[in-house]
Amino acid sequence: MTTISVSPETIGTTPGPFSVWPGSARPAPGGDVTVGGVSLAEAADRFGTPLYVLDEDEVRERCRTYRAAFPDADVIYAAKAFLCRAVAHWVQEEGLGLDVCSAGELELAVTTGFPPEKIVMHGNAKSPQDLATAIRLGVGRIVIDSTCEIARLAALLPVGTRQQIMVRVVPGISAGGHAAIRTGTDSQKFGLSITDGSAQHAITRILDQPNLDLVGLHCHIGSQVTTVKPYVLAVRRLVGLMARIREQHGITLPQLDIGGGHAVAYRPGEEALDITALAARVRTELTDGCTRAGLPVPHLTIEPGRAVIGPAGVAVYHVLAVKRTGDHTFVAVDGGMSDNPRPALYGVRYAPTLIGRHTSATPHPVTVVGRHCEAGDILADDVLLPDDIRPGDLLAVPVAGAYHLSMASGYNLIGRPPVVAVTHGTARVLVRRESLADISSRDICL
């Protein structure tokens, strides 16, 4: 990252500093940037900061890209990346399904009008309430993540009904941008291992339950996966397991879900997963593998989350303080780890940009930090911002749509920021700012 204020020469270039911004991002007078035709500086004045701006057209276009790349598959949006009623509505209109991990996500989606039969329920430790809500609302598929869930789910189902389920399998593949988001190996909490036979044992137990309809296998190898190869290997191993299931139990599973985890670029020059290449290689491996095993090709499901919503979001902060200590410069903003815990959790690096004014000051490495009482409250380390950065300036952080507000906390009792959708020059609040009154209303007794 070498640019610190906005100019027509840098916005929208590839692989320039603004290549990771929403496609609608444009330079504006006075060093401003517009997204979806809306001035970010004016949005900050109107809605306050911290602020999350979400480009509706970018979300929709990314949904369409997936539908075009995987025309014969179910494309399921991973709600954990970020969910609100508007996002549920957008992805439904664009033909995507939804995966949820709790009764809360499920209730929000269904009460918004999302068809429950197009919803998949995940989770490594689903509560009885989660499962009961999924049954009551009629979700399409439930993914079994442990043997404990088999009897629990079967006991909750009304007599005479059957629930479609899948088994989350651990294929023994290490993939992902950080150890905390690698979920395809035996050393983490998700799924049932092929290696130690846990997956095969669970399948045997499921087939003994007459009200559980095993329709397929599921895996999710990790997040921020930049290459196609781990997905191809996962398909190969799951097709092999499908062949063994047919040999042992005499059944052919009709569905295969290979999860998501598709990488996006957070900073210019970083690698993103090529979705078109992924679709082609997965389709070839699935067809060839099934041919070798004498299996019909199962119906494919994929579950992108970050790759749909992440690049559509921009976070906007005001600078509160600039502190120069020895050879370090700290730029403190009015948000931080309560609205974006990802840098503290697994070292994510961003490309914050000064907006709202032009400057010819020399770029200088700084650390952008939050306002919270935690030394690890760092939003961006060793980034270039102008020497004249000062309190009152605006910083915009692109690729802020995924795993920011969905993971936000109430640390220091600082309310969570609002989410504002922008499209065709208009802005509307999707999720309002959390107020002190909201926080206080939950504290009911001395």
Q: Answer left, alpha or beta for residue 237, where phi above 0 means left and psi between -120 and 50 means alpha.
A: alpha
Active-site residue 148, yes or no? no
SS3 79: helix
- CA distances for 352 relative to 14, 176, 223, 263, 314, angstroms: 17, 24, 22, 19, 10
Active site residue: 101, 219, 373, 445, which one? 373
394 forms beta bridges with 318, 355
CA distance 183 to 195: 15
- Exposure string of 47-68, with b = 16+ CB inside 10 Å and e = fewer, is bebbbbbbbbbbbbbbbebbee
Looking at the DSSP bridge assignments, the partners of residue 165 are 142, 214
- The answer to whether the Cα torsion of 371, 377, 382, 383 is positive or negative is negative
Strand 163-170 with 192-193, pairing: parallel
Please list, in sequence order, all residues whose beta carbon lies within 8 angstroms of the beta carbon of residue 105, skipping any fewer than 6 positions away.
Answer: 79, 80, 83
State the Cα–Cα distance between residues 234 and 227, nearest whole angstrom. Answer: 13
Per the DSSP assignment, residues forming a β-bridge with 118 are: none
Q: Name residue 106's amino acid.
A: L
Measured CA to CA, the distance from residue 428 to residue 359 in angstroms comes to 31
- By annotation, the residues acting in catalysis are 373
